[in-house]
Copies of this chain bind each other. A is one copy, B any other.
Amino acid sequence: MDRRKFLAAGGVGVAATALATPAVAQDVREWKLVSAWPKNLPGPGVAAQTLADRITTLSGGRINVTLYAAGELVPGNGVFDAVSEGTAELYHAVPAYWGSKSKGILLFGSQPFGLSADEQLGWMVHGGGQALYDEMYGRFNVKPFLCGNSGPQWAGWFKNEISSLEDLKGLKFRTTGIASQMAAKLGMAAEAMSGPAMFQALQTGALDAGEFIGPWTDSALGYYQVAPYYYWPGVGEPSSAEECGVNAAAYADLPDDLKEVVAQACQGLYGQVLTEY
């Protein structure tokens, strides 16, 4: 029914009362989505907001998801623990951030010289990947879904020109995941840190170089201002999957249709995020 017609027909007082008591009010789950990203950061930050909005819409408001950007509720690197412990119901981040919990987790994000974005999703859907993913994250009370992929990432931003592999030796380099081990084998001191922290570290000289994602997202973080040499291609992350983790108890408590809502909100974003890069 057209709301204005309803207001005209029923009187403002009656209408306001009726509208304030939606039929599904007793079933609404208020869920917190904590993300590892600055608010609306091109790429993953926008994906986190889209995920929150899409679950809310798809569920007809029965799951009302509120997004908290990195640092708003918990630090960006604390979102996995927050969902594992039930402080929040959902997070949006990348598997590459959780290698300290279990090295095997890193395989779900990216592999140097490894799978393309389509191949990574294929492994999940057809190759038994989702079962392994469920088993690994289940140990931490998290139900995981792939939810975005940035495609091939770039080699990174360097404060000084690189002319040979020798020039890499001794550099302090920001990267994550299995790519950190590759960087170490090339003689670099690899450090993981957030995107904004990488900018500050490059600016102060605490870092010599680093990679975050690629030009679209990275330009929003301003790396070009403090590290003018930018190299392509990167081989450390031929694709890099983003993920949504759901508190296992909160997920188990959902009826089947809302389980599918969460799954399909994530799966629909996988290819959509890839088209942005």
Binding site for B on A (CB under 8 A): 54, 57-61, 117-119, 121-122, 125-126, 255-258, 260-261, 264-265, 267-268, 270-272, 274-276
Contacts and interface: CB of A to CB of B under 8 A. Distances in A.
Given A57-B256, A121-B275, 4 more contacts: A58-B257, A60-B257, A126-B275, A267-B268
Contact of A264 (B117, B118, B258, B268): B268
A232 B136 CA distance: 40
Contacts of A267: 268, 271-272
A46 B34 CA distance: 36
A260 B60 CA distance: 9
A133 B77 CA distance: 41
A270 B54 CA distance: 17
23 contacts: A54-B264, A57-B256, A57-B260, A58-B257, A58-B264, A60-B255, A60-B256, A60-B257, A117-B118, A118-B274, A119-B275, A121-B271, A121-B272, A121-B275, A122-B276, A125-B275, A126-B276, A264-B264, A264-B265, A267-B268, A267-B271, A271-B271, A271-B274
